Amino acid sequence: MPNAPASPTAATAGTELSVVVPTYREAGNVEALVRLLDTALAGLRWEVVFVDDDSPDGTADLVRQVAQRDARVRVVHRLGRRGLSSACIEGMLATASPYVAVMDADLQHDETLLPKMLEVLRAGEADVVIGSRYVDGGGLGGWDASRAQMSQTATRLSRMVLPTPVADPMSGFFMLPRAVFLDRARGLSGIGFKILLDLLTARPTPLRIRELPFTFRTRVAGESKLDSSVAWDFLMLVGDRLVGRYVPFRFVAFAFVGGVGVLVHFSILTTLLKGLSLPFTTAQGVATVFAMVFNYAVNNLLTFRDRRLKGWRWLTGLLSFMLACSVGALANVGIAAYLFKQDYQWALAALAGILIGAVWNYAITSAYTWKKKP
C-alpha cells in the first residue's frame, strides 16, 4: 500500500489555489510531490490537479489512489492527446480557484516558493509571478554545460516575441490569477512545452511580471522529456508568435517541408534518369511517390507532431495525404495553365499554381489526414 500524504484532509470548499501539474511517466514522483505540497501550503485552501497524458507507467491510476485518501488531489486523464502546454491549459480550465499555479512533477521546482507567489498576487503587485532561475538568487543547480547553453539560447530567442522583458520566460514554474489566464486562454496556441511563453505572448498587451528566485533541484525519479522534438515545438511556438497573425506558422512549416520535398523529388528523378537510365515517365512516377511519402513522414513527425499518426493510422493517413496532394497537383497545373493562357508571365503563373496547390494540400490534410482531435 503506498504511503499516504503527511496530513491528508477532506476537500475544503472554495479552494484558493489550484496547482496544475502536467505528467507523463511520473508515477515515482506523485506521492512525494503531494507530501511536499501538503507541508509547503499548510494553512492554505489548495488542491493539486495532475493532468496525465495516459502514462504507460500508471501515473493516472496512482493519482486516483492518492485522491481516495486526500480529496485535495485530482486527476485529468487525457486519452489520445499529448503535449505539456495543452495539458496545462486543460488543467487550468478544470479549476475554479481564483489563483492557479503550474509546476512540474519531477520535484525540481521549489514548492516552498508557492506561498510567497500567492502573497504577491493577493497584494495585486503583479499579474504573473514566475519562479526564475535567471534573477539574483536563482540558479540551474546541477545542469551540465550543454543543457544550460540550450536553455539560455531558447531564452534569447523567446525575447524576440515578448512584449515585456522577462529574465526567465522559459520557466515552467509560475502562478497567476485565474481571471488573467481566462482573459488570454482563447489566444493560446497550445504548441510545445513552454506554456508560460505562450501565455505572455497570447495578447500584445504586456502583463505585470514579478520574478522570484529559485534553484533547480535534481530529478529524483523518472527521466527528462527534453529531446529534439521539444526543441522543434519551441521553434514552432516562436514562429507562430512572429508570423501567426498573418499566416499560420504550421502552414509555413508545411510549405518548407514541401520545398525540401521538391529537392528530394529532383534528386531521385536525376538518379533514376541518369544513373539507371529509366524512361522519364517511370522515373517521374517513382520520384513523385517517394517525394509524397517523404513529405507525409516529415509533416507527421514535425508539422503535425501534436496530431501525429501511428500504426495502421499512419498508413491510412498516407493514403489520404497522397489523394489530397494528387488533387492539389491537378489544381496547381490547371491554375498555372489558365493564367499562362491569359498572358501572365510563365513564372508568375507557375508561382500562382504552386501557391494554390500548397494551400489546398495544407487545408485538406489539416482537416482530414491530421484531423484535430476534440
Q: pLDDT tens digit string along 77-106?
A: 998 777 788 899 999 999 999 999 999 998
Q: Residues 282, 201: one domain?
A: no
Residue 118 forms part of a structural domain: yes
Residue 374 forms part of a structural domain: no
Find the domain containing 99 and state its range.
17-243
Whole-number Å distance between alpha carbons of 246 and 243: 6
The total domain count for the chain is 2
Q: Residues 264, 236: one domain?
A: no
Looking at 1-15, 105-119, 307-321, which range is the least confident one? 1-15
**What single string gives the DSSP state of each residue in 120-134?**
HHHTTS-SEEEEESS
Taking the mean position of all CA atoms in its chain, how far away is CA 252? 17
pLDDT at 5 over 50: no
The contacts of residue 338 (CB under 8 Å, 6+ apart) are none
Residue 187 forms part of a structural domain: yes
Q: Which residues of 139-154 are buried (b: 16+ CB within 10 A; e: fewer)?
A: eeeeeeeeeeebbeeb
pLDDT at 108 over 50: yes
Contact 174, 128 (CB under 8 A): yes
How many Cβ atoms from other residues are within 10 Å of residue 56's Cβ?
8
E strand segments, the chain: 17-23, 46-52, 73-77, 99-102, 128-132, 174-177, 209-213
Residue 268 forms part of a structural domain: yes
pLDDT at 149 over 70: no
Q: Residues 227, 268: one domain?
A: no
pLDDT at 257 over 60: yes
Residue 108 forms part of a structural domain: yes
Instruction: Find the mean pLDDT for residues 6-23.
Output: 72
Q: How high is the mean pLDDT of the chain?
A: 81
Whole-number Å distance between alpha carbons of 180 and 292: 44
**What pLDDT does 226 receive?**
47
Residue 127 forms part of a structural domain: yes
pLDDT category, 254, cuts 50, 70, 90? confident
Whole-number Å distance between alpha carbons of 150 and 155: 9
The contacts of residue 224 (CB under 8 Å, 6+ apart) are 106
Q: pLDDT tens digit string along 124-145?
A: 999 999 999 888 887 776 665 6
